Amino acid sequence: MRSLITLVGLVLATLLLHLVLIQPNHPGAMTWQALLLFPLELPVIILLLVALPSRAALTIAVRVLLVAFLVVMAVLKSADVALFTAFNRPFNPLVDLNLIEAGIRLLAGTIGTLQTSLVVVGAIIAPFVLAAALWWATGQWAHIALPLSFRALAGFAAVIAAGVAVAEIGEARGRWTLPVEPPGAAFTARVALERTTTYNRLFTQLSEFRQAAAQDPFADVERPLDALGGRDTVFVFVESYGRASFDNSLYSQTHLATLGTAESKLEQAGVEARSGWLTAPISGGQSWLAHGTLASGMRTSNQALYTAMLASGRKTLWDYAAAAGYETAAVMPAITLPWPEADLLGFEHVYPAKNLGYRGEPFNWVTMPDQFTLTAFDRLFEDQQSPLFAQIALISSHAPWVPVPELIAWEAVGDGTVFNAVAKSGDPPSVVWRDPDRIRDQYRLSIDYSLETIFDYVARSPQSKDRLTIILGDHPPTIMVAGIEGYDIPIHIVGPEDLINATDDWQWTEGLIPGSDVDALADGVVSRPVS
């Protein structure tokens, strides 16, 4: 009976180690087929535990290190799945820890505070439960008492198994080609090695970034932005607006029709438009990294680079505008917490959510609809005397995309309470987000609302005939929603004919629908001072 119990324990322990080692780090790999992968680390672990003397201090130390390693890798791989789902990239604890708080707040606005609390508690407890289970599993094998000769043989076999695992890792990383295909994959060990390489590369990247930041080719420009002739310039970011609106049939039929109608409105208003593509530094979220890239002309694709850019003293687009005599401003309805970075970016006036005058109900996480934000912008700068250089970050098309506002008569916007009925309508995100098809449809509707609103605003505004308005996406949505790979985002430049013609060398497309063959400007770098 005792032998049977021991055998069952060894089988269960092996199964647990197997599952931890084959745990995917990408949502696309989470299939039943993944269970058939043989982890090459498994025989190394089992043979090593068998080879070590039972209950010796060395064995305990090895088990502690092994359990800690496996728990850390399990947590990192789980975080990878979350980041690949949200941002189409792996998790990097050196730069992504700040996302935990933001993710919790977004999740609370999507599924509710109680459910989010349960998720957070579960996430905190899970590593400890896994550690306890792995300690038990490693103990099942480590407590097998064998004669010295058998333990020596197991140790030799562990070395051979480790060599096979190393060989497979080298082949998977393109270091060499093996004459025989390995019987499995050392996936977890390879992920750990790649993480170490990535972290080392980040420090090199930071050093190179700091050097590049100190070499601003426009630092000595005497008359920055002179070609604008002192006319107002407004950058409008449309949240999560990417190439999917043009290349994914789920969205293109709706969004192209809206842009076609907007083209007619702009033509009737007497303003010109050109469109092209930029390449965003990120996808799925972290809009401030896209804003920082445009402001600095440098790719701020993670928080470490963004922080380095702020600390570098490099002039931003907004600094150049201030030097050219403009008043710089940021209208940021998504900002609900202190934003000290605004001064370093070069904004003279900053208007977060609480300073925009919205008295209506929020649209879940979204503080206010885009139509109110644009109305508030007009109100705030109605009596503006100096030329204005401003950034507006619209957020109606930010997840969870529930509910979607409706464009109403502009004169009826008032203090925003007119939107209350819509803000409380429809199913909550906790219901909508159970169905991927409904999520995508809500995204389609929210982008359509934002496009309809911003272009209706531009077409009806008398200032548009003399103002340069640059409308662009900040980043594509998560790959699950976008349905296509890539980081391209559309950009539309709208304004008087002479300013629009100044972009002829860029060879962008007339109107609001950029040609598919137009090259994207890398990293969204459009912050080139025009002299």
> Which tens digit of pLDDT belongs to each residue from 327-360?
999 999 999 888 888 988 999 999 999 999 999 9
Q: Would you state the structure tokens that stand for residue 374, as one six-digit string?
A: 């644009």
- The residue among 430, 459, 488 that closes a domain is 459
Residue type, 229: G
Question: pLDDT grade, residue 527 (50/70/90)?
Answer: very low
Reported as a single tens digit per residue, the pLDDT across 43-94 is 999 999 999 998 889 999 999 999 999 999 999 999 888 888 777 778 877 6
How many helices (H) and strands (E) would you count in the chain?
Answer: 20, 9
Q: What's the rounded mean pLDDT across residues 377-395?
A: 93
Domain boundary among 459, 482, 507: 459
State the chain's mean pLDDT as an integer.
Answer: 89
162 belongs to a structural domain: yes
- 513 and 245 in contact (C-beta within 8 Å)? no
Q: What DSSP designation does 403 have?
A: S
Split into its structural domains, the chain has a count of 2
Q: Residues 180, 234: one domain?
A: no
Where among 169, 199, 229 does a domain terminate?
199
266 membership: H or E segment, kind and range: helix 249-269
Residues 225 and 88 in one domain: no
Clarify whether residues 321 and 190 are in a common domain. no
How many other C-beta atoms are found inside a 10 Å radius of the C-beta of residue 75? 16
pLDDT, position 391: 97
- Which residue pairs from 459-465 have beta carbons closer than 8 angstroms and sit at least 24 positions apart in sequence? 459/262, 459/265, 459/266, 459/268, 459/269, 459/271, 460/269, 460/410, 461/378, 463/232, 464/269, 464/271, 464/494, 464/495, 465/269, 465/270, 465/271, 465/496
**232 and 194 both lie in a single domain:** no
Q: Are residues 345 and 411 in the same domain?
A: yes
CB 478 within 8 A of CB 284: yes
Task: Please give the Cα distance from 356 to 366 (Å, whole number).
Answer: 14
- pLDDT (mean) for 356-365: 94
Which range of residues forms the domain containing residue 431? 221-270+281-459
- Interatomic CA distance for residues 367 and 334, integer angstroms: 7
Q: Are residues 234 and 132 in the same domain?
A: no
Whole-angstrom distance, CA of residue 518 vs CA of residue 201: 32
Return the SS3 of 319: helix
- Is residue 336 domain-resident? yes
Q: Are residues 138 and 263 in the same domain?
A: no
Give the type of residue at 99.
L
Angle at 56 between CA 50 and CA 57, to 5 degrees: 125
Residues 403, 409, 412, 413: is their CA dihedral positive or negative? positive
Whether 501 is covered by a domain: the verdict is no
- State whether 111 and 242 are in the same domain: no
Same domain, 48 and 139: yes
- Residue 531: pLDDT over 50: no
Determine phi and psi for 81, rounding to 5 degrees: -60, -45
Identify whether residues 256 and 385 lie together within a single domain: yes
The pTM (predicted TM-score) of the whole model is: 0.77
Distances (CA, A) of 419 to 264, 314, 354, 369: 28, 42, 17, 8
> Within a domain: residue 523?
no
CATH code of the domain covering residue 290 = 3.40.720.10
How far is residue 502's CA from residue 105's CA, in Å, rounded to a whole number? 43
Q: Which of 80, 122, 88, 92 is nearest to 104 (CA)?
A: 122
β-pair partners for 332: 352
**Region 498-526 average pLDDT:** 79
Q: Do 443 and 367 belong to one domain?
A: yes
pLDDT tens-digit series, residues 265-277: 999 999 999 999 9
Contact 322, 346 (CB under 8 A): yes
Count CA atoms within 13 Å of residue 509 on its CB side.
Answer: 17
Percent of the chain with pLDDT over 70: 96
- Determine if residue 150 is left, alpha or beta; phi over 0 gives left, psi from -120 to 50 gives alpha, anything else beta: alpha
Q: Is residue 119 one of the residues assigned to a domain?
A: yes
In a domain, 275, yes or no: no
Q: Domain check: are 252 and 190 in the same one?
A: no
Is 514 part of any domain?
no
User: 484 in a domain, yes or no?
Assistant: no
